[in-house]
Amino acid sequence: MTTTTTRKTTLRATDLSCPSCVAKIEKALTTLPGVEEAKVHFETGRIVVQHDASSATANDLVAAIARAGYQARVSAI
């Protein structure tokens, strides 16, 4: 039996300038293995990601956002 470690991680984006940024970040996150859902709140820069922590770590989430051209930091795990 395989056990998954589902976690909700909250990040904060520092450089969202337009609503299309939301779509780019959500796509970058949801294509990572283990990510079930990603919601980006444009007005606040808050990003909430539901993911399997054994497949996608918080560092993986930050790296995926960086590859999409944005900066983010973890604010809560």
**Residue 1 covered by a domain:** no
73: Cβ contacts below 8 Å, ≥ 6 apart: 11, 12, 14, 62
Q: Indicate the pTM of the whole model.
A: 0.89
Number of domains in the chain: 1
**Residue 33 covered by a domain:** yes
Domain range enclosing 51 = 6-76
Q: Determine the Cα–Cα distance for residues 40 and 24; give it in Å rounded to an integer.
A: 10
Instruction: Quick: pLDDT tens for 32-75.
Output: 999 999 999 999 999 999 999 999 999 999 999 999 999 999 99
CATH classification of the domain holding 43 = 3.30.70.100
